Amino acid sequence: MRRYSPYAASYSFGPGPLPPALKALIVLNVIAFIATSLAPSLLQWFGLFPAAVLGQFEIWQVGTYMFLHGGVFHILFNMLALWMFGTELERLWGTREFLKFYFTCGIGAAVLTILFSLLPFDFARQVHQSIVIGASGAIYGLLLAYAMTYPERPILLVIFFVPAKVCVAILGAIALLSSVSEPGGVANATHLGGLLVAYLYLTTRHTHPVAELKYRYLKWKINRVRRKFDVYSGGRHDDYDRRIH
């Protein structure tokens, strides 16, 4: 990814230096990775284990799982994505709003993963008895936010550059299909959860939740009354003149 400066002839690779929140997140992830490499049993305590969260009420796991990774490539690619997509968003939103969004996506993805694990299907029951680790849920949320902010920005997907909005659509479809079809699709449910939480956050963050619910309910009642009395904004459906009434 290239970061273009105000001067047309100059550019640099990547989004630039790390802002404060990203720097802290990367440092914490690296420290946690070293700690779990030295003491793998920590994964049992701090990874997301839906059965333990619901059965033993180990609620802290919905937040701690996103700092754990299963190998060098796992943490390397997650931290690279965090830097590439998070840097511009933190500069745009500010550190406080960025951290709020990041943890909302990560924790929200964990909660949706737990709910997903309760579905009466074999692929969901497997999630219930598995340990989920990694920052991917929060990072998928960042990817969606990046695509909604810079929809036409090119992203390298495998070997082709595609617009950010297309890249997110492809990754979301892969996560959805994998979560219900692959036996090992545990993390894919979390990826999809991160996307869903990010979308809800970004589309409602400027709206008061209670006021939004009241508006939706009132709109539903009005539409129900219209259907009951066969009233439409353009007149009755069988009116030739389509008068408003």
Return the residue matching tokens 């990560």: 106
- DSSP β-ladder status, 11-13 and 154-157: unpaired
Structure tokens at 140: 């998928």
Structure tokens at 14: 């990547």
Closest among 6, 161, 148, 30 to 83, alpha carbons compared: 30
Pair 136, 65: CB distance under 8 Å: no
Pair 88, 98: CB distance under 8 Å: no
Pair 196, 112: CB distance under 8 Å: yes
Exactly one of 130, 136, 178, 179 is catalytic; which is it?
136
Pair 137, 165: CB distance under 8 Å: no
Pair 127, 113: CB distance under 8 Å: yes
Return the residue matching tokens 């209670």: 210
Return the residue matching tokens 């990826």: 191
Exactly one of 69, 130, 179, 191 is catalytic; which is it?
191
Q: In a 3-state reduction of DSSP, which class is residue 155?
A: strand
136 is catalytic: yes
69 is catalytic: no
Q: In a 3-state reduction of DSSP, which class is residue 118?
A: coil
Give me the amino acid identity at 54: L
Give the number of other CB atoms < 10 A from CB of residue 226. Answer: 12
Kindly list the catalytic residues. Answer: 136, 191
